[in-house]
Amino acid sequence: MYKTKAYSAASNTSPLASTTIQRREPTDRDVQIEILFCGICHSDLHAVRNEWSGVMPTVYPIVPGHEIVGRVTKVGSAVKKFKPGDLAAVGCMVDSDGTCPQCKDGFEQFCPNMILTYNSPDKHLGGVTYGGYSDSIVVDEHFALRVPPNLNLAGAAPLCCAGVTTYSPMRHWGAGPGKKVGVVGLGGLGHMAVKFAHAFGAHVAVFTTSPSKKEDALRLGADEVILSRDANEMQKHNNSFDFILDAVSAEHDINAYLNLLGRDGALTLVGLPSKPLGVAAFNLIMGRRSLSGSAIGGIAETQEMLDFCGKHNITADVEVIPIQKVNEAYARLLKSDVKYRFSIDMASLKSE
Ligand SMILES: [Zn+2]
Ligand SMILES: [Zn+2]
């Protein structure tokens, strides 16, 4: 074991503060990564405040962070994918059983024994796993991803969660040339969805409640912007969409969007509203429409997404902050006051 610097929260009401944690020495299959940037995902905030206590109660202290980019410093003797000096990324998962049907099909994110990057049982050291608000991390090479060297690293970090969360469902539902794709909610997830849908060659429409977002949506790659509060404008698009990605976590009416889907159109949820959503069955039956959800992506698909980003030079739009501003960033995140993701420059942790 070795010690590494980190930021942790001691309780659901404590701010994140400087601390020291233990990491394991790399085993034969492990890579040790010096973390350069870590994105701030809304899930980090939920976990720190124990807001998902019913599903996954937080064990304190918690070190959040699952949008990790860094440089490999050490590899185990059996590691094939990496050598010291390589760039590497880690997303939401650090382990799974590797033997169940989900793992065999490349869907590690649905493995019943999947281990999250933070707040999951740590089979090596006991206790729980610690995430990316830290100097370094040690992971099985299968869960470390290669990072195209042309990408801006601060902007590449959020690809590991926000990127693959939006890439995966759009690939699954065939967003591409000749397809009309809608994105609901222009935040950390939504802005990545717009970039991907545009790069896939689809016609992209962004739904927003605020006219002020129009210019930015167009800059990100949208072909049109639809004001969702304007019933007349919405009605013009009835039965016309092939796919809509809904990235809104606040309560909202999804029937308004189901109505816009054409025959066999699909609406996929990637946001997590805390209350159940009402669905009018009529809106699904007419047009044989689908309503579905999606969660991140498997490791192979996450690598495919990073390679795609390398080829098309896609990264998240980030505001880079030092770790010392992380509590301020959480407060701003609650007000959606960020375009569109915070990325922590981990060099700032060295001065703690
Ligand atoms: Zn996340
Ligand atoms: Zn499995």
Beta pairing, strands 180-184 & 136-140: unpaired
Ligand 1 ion: nearby residues, β-carbon < 5 Å: 41, 43, 161
Of the ligands numbered here, which is closest to the C-alpha atom of 97?
2
Ligand 2 centroid, distance to 310 Cα (angstroms) = 29
Instruction: Categorize the per-residue pLDDT at 344 as very low, low, confident or very high, splitting at 50, 70 and 90.
Output: very high
Ligand 2 centroid, distance to 101 Cα (angstroms) = 6
Ligand 2 centroid, distance to 140 Cα (angstroms) = 15
Instruction: Categorize the per-residue pLDDT at 273 as very low, low, confident or very high, splitting at 50, 70 and 90.
Output: confident
Mean pLDDT score, 75-89: 98
CA 251 from centroid of its chain's CA atoms: 20
Ligand 2 centroid, distance to 62 Cα (angstroms) = 25
Q: What is the helix (H) or strand (E) element at residue 307, kind and residue range?
A: helix 299-312
Q: How many other CB atoms are there within 10 angstroms of residue 274's CB atom?
A: 11
Whether the pLDDT of residue 255 is over 90: the answer is yes
Token readout for 173 is 């539902």
How far is Cα 352 from Cα 91, in angstroms, rounded to an integer? 25
Q: What is the helix (H) or strand (E) element at residue 245, kind and residue range?
A: strand 241-246
pLDDT at 16: 98
What 3-state DSSP class applies to 330? helix
pLDDT digits (tens, 9 = 90+) for 310-342: 999 999 999 999 999 999 999 999 999 999 999
Percent of the chain with pLDDT over 70: 100
Whether the pLDDT of residue 272 is over 90: the answer is no
pLDDT at 210: 87
Give the phi and the psi of residue 309 in degrees, each rounded to 5: -65, -40
Which ranges of the chain would DSSP assign to H, the alpha helix? Answer: 42-48, 101-104, 153-156, 162-172, 188-199, 214-220, 231-235, 255-258, 281-285, 299-312, 326-334
Ligand 1 centroid, distance to 236 Cα (angstroms) = 34
How far is Cα 323 from Cα 303, in angstroms, rounded to an integer? 27
Ligand 2 centroid, distance to 25 Cα (angstroms) = 24
Average pLDDT score over the chain = 97
Ligand 1 centroid, distance to 172 Cα (angstroms) = 20
Mean pLDDT score, 244-253: 93
pLDDT digits (tens, 9 = 90+) for 84-101: 999 999 999 999 999 999
Mean pLDDT score, 70-94: 98
pLDDT at 109: 98
Of the ligands numbered here, which is closest to the C-alpha atom of 114?
2
pLDDT at 275: 87
Contacting residues for 278 by C-beta, under 8 A, at least 6 apart:
253, 254, 255
Of the ligands numbered here, which is closest to the C-alpha atom of 100?
2
pLDDT at 101: 98
Token readout for 131 is 């995430």
pLDDT at 274: 81
Peptide bond into 340 cis (omega under 30): yes
